[in-house]
Chains A and B, each alone.
Chain A
Amino acid sequence: DSGVTQTPKHLITATGQRVTLRCSPRSGDLSVYWYQQSLDQGLQFLIQYYNGEERAKGNILERFSAQQFPDLHSELNLSSLELGDSALYFCASSVEAGELFFGEGSRLTVL
């Protein structure tokens, strides 16, 4: 158990819809990262937050947004969903930059 909790574990929705993925980091970790894992793109860095502020941005689409709340949990919002958005979305938290602790992921299926 990494200490990082992600909900929901599985989500099935239709194209054009919007979903929110939630992440609770390990106790005491201020940094939260979001990654997307798909078969054809591998593990793609989306965005990082540190203590409520956006710190680094990767290949995150404009249809996607994220935030980190004062209690340090984070949400990733995906809107106008397309078939290609089907993937496993991981949240990770850390104290130090390279030693990330990953949640078990949220598997999104867009039909």
Chain B
Amino acid sequence: GEDVEQSLFLSVREGDSSVINCTYTDSSSTYLYWYKQEPGAGLQLLTYIFSNMDMKQDQRLTVLLNKKDKHLSLRIADTQTGDSAIYFCAEILSGGYNKLIFGAGTRLAVHP
């Protein structure tokens, strides 16, 4: 199937780390993506990782990829209230023309 799965909610305290998890289906996906959707807005590309990498770090963001388990995670260090949003994991399905398939999104709530 084409399911990308994520937990729906995560609540963290300001200043703590957030870890958002995702499992994907296509082992031949070349890139995996994290998008962020703030209230009332469209999705924005946050970061991505190439499938031959295990980890990618970009300032407060760390992406970990476990290809064996088809598991992707996004860690946000020192989480701030401005990080409150919905985070979507996405994979490109190969075969024919590529199409980007999103998970249902994880709603991150940051509280004081």
Contacts and interface: CB of A to CB of B under 8 A. Distances in A.
- The 8 A-B pairs of least Cβ separation, nearest first, read A102-B42, A42-B104, A43-B102, A97-B98, A56-B99, A102-B43, A56-B97, A55-B97
A95 to B, nearest CB: 12
28 contacts: A2-B44, A4-B42, A42-B102, A42-B104, A42-B105, A43-B43, A43-B88, A45-B99, A45-B102, A50-B97, A55-B97, A56-B97, A56-B99, A92-B42, A97-B92, A97-B98, A98-B90, A98-B92, A98-B98, A98-B100, A100-B35, A100-B100, A102-B42, A102-B43, A103-B42, A104-B40, A104-B41, A104-B42
A56 to B, nearest CB: 4
A101 B43 CA distance: 7
Given A56-B97, A102-B42, 7 more contacts: A4-B42, A43-B102, A56-B96, A58-B99, A97-B98, A101-B45, A105-B42
Of B33, B35, B99, which is in contact with the most chain A CB atoms at under 10 Å from its CB? B99
A43 B6 CA distance: 12
Interface in A34-87: 35, 42-43, 45, 48, 50, 55-56, 58
Nearest to B101: A45
Contacts of B31: 98
A68 B92 CA distance: 22
Contacts of A105: 42
B99 A42 contact: no
Contacts of A102: 42-44
Contacts of A58: 99
Interface in B1-53: 31, 33, 35, 40-45, 48
Contacts of B99: 45, 48, 56, 58, 97
A90 B102 contact: no
Contacts of A43: 43, 88, 102, 104-105
A101 B94 CA distance: 20
Contacts of B88: 43
